[in-house]
Structure 1
Amino acid sequence: MFPENLSAVAHLTAGAVGGLGASLIRVPTEVVKQRMQTGQFRTAPDAVRLIVAKEGFRGLFAGYGSFLLRDLPFDAIQFCIYEQLRIGYKLMAKRELKDPENALIGAFAGAITGAITTPLDVLKTRLMIQGQTKQYSGIVSCAKTGIEPRVLWIGIGGSIFFGVLEKTKSVLAERSSRKAALAEKDE
């Protein structure tokens, strides 16, 4: 449906739509898995039964919004990167790609996308495992708990790093001009 020059848009859209459909199965599965990993339940059937009993059916969809916030960009970006890399590589190779090449491109697309979306994954996990404690009232509440200290430390670190960088550049430039001035005197 999309012209060839908009294939990236088509791939982004396809990835997001596919992720949206899959979320209806992946979210309850992820909620059960996360809670079992934190020791809240021993078996998956117990987890499902007790979550529904204590939190209602909606409990299986805890963190649904944060899941979509993480997975829709993940699915869209990963699928787009994968397809665009395949198109480029195929044009360069002037042939159909072999299975190992597709697998390598897929690994690269997944790794890049995982790095990009990690903060969203942390939000999703925190919201899914909170259970009835309701430590966070939503995505924004959850993000604030991690963002404020991170912004503070990254800000302080950036101040020190860039301050030292600029001072070092200044000192080196001054030394260089002194050496040049001395060299001119000696001539």
Structure 2
Amino acid sequence: MDQPGFTASLVAGGVAGVSVDLILFPLDTIKTRLQSPQGFYKAGGFYGVYAGVPSTAIGSFPNAAAFFVTYEYVKWILHTDSSSYLMPMTHMLAASAGEVVACLIRVPSEVVKQRAQVSSSSGTFHIFSNILCQEGIQGLYRGYKSTVLREALWSWRQDHVVDSWQSAVCGAFAGGFAAAVTTPLDVAKTRIMLAKAGSSTASGNVLSALHAVWRTQGLSGLFAGVFPRMAAISLGGFIFLGAYDQTRSFLLELGRESP
């Protein structure tokens, strides 16, 4: 990828990610509390819905930028003609690679954020320090496998070969559908990240976490938080893809006009 394209993807991805994460943060908090093992109201209910926002604010820009830079770079390496039947596979591979890289930043941020969301009396830095003291670096990467799997499954529909508004609308519909389908993985991720250190759930086994939820709460437990999750990701898809395309196009145009 050329330098202007690389820089535009970096900045546009970061701006889009920060916009979505901060605007839709209350929906994410409600979703996390619905999925928490102690139950919605014990986890905080509708109180303090911006608990954990510092973790998101810090991790959002580098996380989103890492995804889109990797995404665009892999597409560039696997350069495929837009009319080729291999184009969907190129986007799937690029999106998967983007998620693997982005989750190196996203997962630690998510772990701290989710614990703050269900324990709003504890500050973000206090939670971060406790994780490092009690579990070390590996504690910050609890739920990495479930997060990568969840994100890769619904990010495969990413495409930027259409206009900004078309990309945004497609992102909204595709994201909402994918959000519903992948909710059980999101529940497993939440349970793993919130589990007490040393417990079987904290080991990070996705199937074990899903089985535990199924055994205690059944189908409703596996789809806890599905509606706020669908709403957040549908709106997020609209804002994220639209903001990314608009910002990237603007930056590239600005670069062409500069002497």
* Shorter-chain TM band: 0.5 to 0.7
Aligned identity (percent) is: 34
- For 2:111, the equivalent position in structure 1 comes to 31
CA–CA separation in structure 2 for the residues paired with 1:105 and 1:65:
27
Alignment check: 8 A CA contact 2:96 2:152 kept: yes
1:51 counterpart = 2:131: yes
Q: Paired residue for 1:144, among 182, 203, 211?
A: 211
**Is the helix fraction higher in 1 or 2?**
1
- For 1:8, the equivalent position in structure 2 comes to 88
TM value normalised by structure 1? 0.65
CA–CA separation in structure 2 for the residues paired with 1:17 and 1:110:
18
Cα RMSD after superposing both structures? 2.2
Structure 2 stretches of 5 or more lacking a match? 1-77, 220-259
CA–CA separation in structure 1 for the residues paired with 2:168 and 2:145:
30
Within 5 Å, give how 1:1-187 maps onto structure 2. Answer: 1=78, 2=80, 4-39=84-119, 42-76=122-156, 78-79=157-158, 83=159, 97=163, 99-132=164-197, 134-136=199-201, 137=203, 138-148=205-215, 150=218
CA–CA separation in structure 2 for the residues paired with 1:40 and 1:126:
17
Quote the offset at 1:46 in angstroms.
1.1
Secondary structure of 1:132's aligned partner: coil
In the TM superposition, structure 1's runs of 4+ consecutive aligned residues that sit over 4 Å from their partners are: none
Count of residues in Structure 1 that have an aligned counterpart in Structure 2? 136
CA–CA separation in structure 2 for the residues paired with 1:66 and 1:56:
20
TM value normalised by structure 2? 0.48
Deviations 1:35-69 (A, max 9, x none): 01111762221111111001111111111122122
Larger RCO (alpha carbons 8 Å, 6+ apart): 2
